[in-house]
Structure 1
Amino acid sequence: MKNLFLLFLFCLSLSAKSFIVSPLPLPRQEVLDIDSSECDEKCLEVLYTEGKLFSFVAKFNPLIKNPDLRSKLTEVLTNLDLFMKENFFEKIQDVKKIKIALMIPREVIGRYSATGINTILAYLTSRNASFLFEVFDSKNEEAQNLHQTYEEIRQKKFDCIVTLLTIDGIKNLIESTTIAIPTYIPTVNKNQLNLPKIPQKLFFGGIDYQKQIEILHKLALDDEVVEYDDASNIGNWLKTLSEQKFNIVFRDEISNQKAARFAQEIEAQEEHLKNRAVLLNIPVIKTGLILPQIGFLEEKPIKFLSTQINYNPSLLMLLKPKDRQNFFIINAIGKTDPYLIEYGLLLGSDLQYDWVSYSIGIGIEMFFLNRGEKISKFFSENMKDSQVEYVNKILKTYRNSFIEVKQ
């Protein structure tokens, strides 16, 4: 019995030792450069490509701002569990902190308030920038509220403003407020305003739906067109533009309810759809509901046409390939930095398919460039006469992807 008791005490003492915290710090791996030769950006690219990762880390100059190389450094440090000295990145902090304000009328734009926040944070994070970012909610687009919010931002001495406004909101802002800070509006194209004069420090990033409609008109040639619209702001704008260009023989406004029961509508519209082009000024969910019903017709439309409004990966899931044959979509979203795309997706922002997110990214980059910072551009678009210039491409769908149609 005594032996069993002694064995119990011995086991207890062993288990007790597992709760003792060592006073010694955990070991860390640090890479030292023992070669005095210099290594520029091309040299680092070669080291990374050849898998000489320890040399890549050892030779990395903290003054290098190349976002691709800095992302690769972060990746290597994480994967190899390496440690850099605490003052390694201090040398790049000589750049003045950028102060960016996001002004949103939350009651008006709804979910796009999150889009604005996420995209701005994604861009700033991917740049490893020193920044101050704050969100200001004007609640709505009434002139007084916009003016008060704008003045609050100005008094806090922000460098630049991104604001998500509609056409009415922009007009109210211009009428009530002196635009004293560089202000970027990603949601509206300047051509939509029809104003005699635009303030000098006001910039626009909305895509040009008028140009997209003109491209679709060329694709339609002399075809008679059946047009489907909806009652949204963009739907009404597209309807106005379409009336000026197409030979429309039948038009229908597609509500959510009508889209859901389109099988009951198709018989009455069958004669209109035979051998005609269909212009889809409706978003992707409604398109996904009505096109399968049209696909059951014996005599189908000869082609389907759409602006940016249907450039969405959901289209590929909602429609079978047979239901999207001869479907032409105009897209203004270009290519951007893959790391920025990844940061965006992590934060809930889609810079590949959501044109508002893409436009916001262009605006933030414009602010950086206007500060005189020497950065590699993530976006290829330029600003002309206060408006972002996009390159429109004609796309078709192929299996589970969009492909460009060469003109």
Structure 2
Amino acid sequence: MKNLIIAFFITCMIFIQVNAQNRCDKACLKELSNGVDFIQFIYNPLTIKEPIKSYYADIKKLLIIPEIEIGRKDIKIALIIPQNVIKSYSVVVSDSVFAYIFKRDIGSHIEIFYSGDESKDSLNSAIQRAKSAGFEHFIAPITTNGLSVINSSDYDDLIFYIPTINIKTVQNPNPNLFFGGIDYEAQIQKLLTKANHKITAFGDGSRVSDMLNNLVANNTNEPYIKNIEGSDIKLNFLKNNYKVKNSSIFLNTPLIKSALLSSQFRVFELTPHILLSTQLNYNSALISLTQSGDRKNMYIANSIMTPDSQLETLSAILGEKLDYDWVAYSTMIGMDFIYLNYINKSAKAIFKEEMQNNQIQYNINIMRTGNYGFYFDE
């Protein structure tokens, strides 16, 4: 059954992604004009031929998907996607939107407007196309580089939810902008309650890593900060490094480098006081990439609190790990926020997180690593 589900959804995703990115040929446009967008295609596959019909029947039975009348649009949202900038997160965001639609069992009109990059001309063009098509509610997974375009009085009549940015990093945001980014500073501050007085932070020179290292520096006293850049990783500097020995070490590095570093501390007999990481390394792969002894004193901050198993299953069908991907999680919360506040105010919330002062408020749990996964620190 699982293989049938995966095969069907891969087929559907190829169908919509090819049409969206290539802007459709005449046959495609005719098909779309008849109302067969992605969600409608799933709910009522008028164009599906054997053997896909049997896959659809199995999935519909498994997920208990109701019939939805073609043309019914309970929710209308545009996605502004700078795919050249956010890369693989383009798919994460769109898949998360689709999973939310399935969870709600609602008809939809979801359309993706690709901007390519985050230049003023590119983003303005994508937003104007969406606005001309009648969209008023937007999900825009942009970086701070593109925020100045959206944070404009030209778009005061539109509602934007930005899943990738925390409002703490924004100066003077307009009231029509809402944010869902993780509060990394709050995570670091909570992790510091486990630390001793001697602080080390490793990065890789990336934008996210530099941001995390700066937050560590701003919240501690003279930390030792070291960047390990490139793929040719040389760690000889760790030998007899008294600055690292018995320190509380922040791994502000991607997963692979974090796993490598955690093993080398023991090799160089540095015996860290504790290993610390933000949401950046909250990933199930960390368990398989590290030895239990290397992560014995590892603590990781996590703000993802998956609401139910059905949403996890729907996300997994679409290839996303909702319980580990904060961008997917933030996107779904944004969908819930828009649906509850602007479309159907009588609906019940799926997520417990609330919007306060235009920013989603996340809880922060400190997690430990076991042999088979993560568990709450007590």
Tell me if 1:396 matches 2:371: no
Count the aligned residue pairs.
Answer: 320
* Deviation per residue, 1:38-66 (Å, 9 max, x gap): xxxxxxxxxxxxxxxxxxxxxxxxxxxxx
Q: Which amino acid aligns with 1:332?
A: S
CA distance, structure 2, for counterparts of residue 275 and residue 201 of structure 1: 47
Determine the C-alpha separation between the residues in 1 that align with 2:210 and 2:174.
27
Q: Quick check: 1:183–1:202 contact (8 Å CA) kept in 2?
A: yes
Question: Does 2:155 correspond to 1:178?
Answer: yes
Paired position in structure 2 for 1:355: 326
TM-score, length basis structure 1: 0.73
Q: Does structure 1 retain, via aligned residues, the 8 Å contact 2:83–2:116?
A: yes
C-alpha displacement of 1:139: 1.2
When normalised by structure 2's length, the TM-score is 0.79
Cα drift, residue 138 of structure 1: 1.1
Q: How far 1:356 sits from its partner (Å)?
A: 0.4
Structure 1 vs Structure 2: percent identity of aligned residues?
30
What is the CA–CA distance in structure 2 between the aligned matches of 1:389 and 1:306, rounded to whole Å? 20
Contact 1:256 1:286 in 2 (8 A): no
Among residues 183, 194, 203, which one is paired with 1:208 in the alignment?
Answer: 183
Q: How does 1:4-403 map to 2 (within 5 A)?
A: 78=61, 89=67, 97-175=74-152, 177-193=154-170, 195-196=171-172, 198-221=173-196, 223-258=197-232, 260-262=233-235, 264-267=236-239, 269=241, 271-370=242-341, 371-403=343-375
Write the letter of the residue equivalent to 2:227.
Answer: E
The worse-fitting range, judged by mean Cα deviation, of 274-283 and 175-184 is 175-184
> d(CA) in 2 for partners of 1:354 and 1:76?
24
- Residue deviations 1:62-106 (CA, integer Å, cap 9, x gap): xxxxxxxxxxxx999837xx9x9xxx856x999852111110111
**Cα distance, 1:400–1:336 mapped onto 2, change above 3 Å:** same
Once residues 369 and 215 of structure 1 are traced to their aligned partners in structure 2, the CA distance between those partners, rounded to angstroms, is: 31
Q: Does the CA-based 8 Å contact 1:119-1:360 persist in structure 2?
A: yes
Contact 2:202 2:253 in 1 (8 A): yes
C-alpha distance in 2, partners of 1:89/1:267? Answer: 65
Instruction: State the one-letter code of the partner of 2:326.
Output: W
1-structure distance, mates of 2:267, 2:206: 28
Secondary structure class of the residue paired with 2:367: strand
Q: 1:261 to 1:299 in 2, by over 3 A?
A: closer
Aligned partners of 1:402 and 1:110: how far apart in 2? 28
Structure 1: runs of 5 or more not aligned? 1-73
2:9 aligned partner: none
Relative distance call for 1:254 and 1:77 in structure 2 (3 A) is: closer
Distance 1:253 1:185 in 2: 29
Paired residue secondary structure (1:180): coil
Match of 1:69 in 2: none
Coordinate RMSD, CA, aligned? 2.5
The 2-side partners of 1:118 and 1:279 are apart by 32
The separation in 1 between residues aligned to 2:288 and 2:262, in whole angstroms, is 13
Secondary structure of the residue aligned to 1:291 is: helix
Q: Deviations over 1:11-58 (max 9, x none)?
A: xxxxxxxxxxxxxxxxxxxxxxxxxxxxxxxxxxxxxxxxxxxxxxxx
Partner of 2:377: 405
CA contact (8 A) 1:143 1:173 kept: no
SS in 2 for 1:183: strand
Query: Which entry has the higher C-alpha Rg, 1 or 2?
Result: 1
Deviations 1:143-202 (A, max 9, x none): 122122112111111241111110110123224742322111000001111x13x22221
Q: For the Cα contact (< 8 Å) 2:80–2:140, is it kept in 1?
A: yes
Once residues 78 and 169 of structure 2 are traced to their aligned partners in structure 1, the CA distance between those partners, rounded to angstroms, is 24
> Per the alignment, do residues 355 and 306 of structure 1 end up closer, same or farther by CA in structure 2, a change over 3 Å counting?
same
Deviates more, 1:326-335 or 1:290-299: 290-299
After the TM superposition, which segments of 4 or more aligned residues of structure 1 sit over 4 Å from their partners? Answer: 74-77, 92-96
Amino acid at match of 2:325: D
AA partner of residue 178 (structure 2): F
Counterpart CA distance in 2 for 1:148 and 1:183 is 16
Gaps of 5+ in 2: 1-56
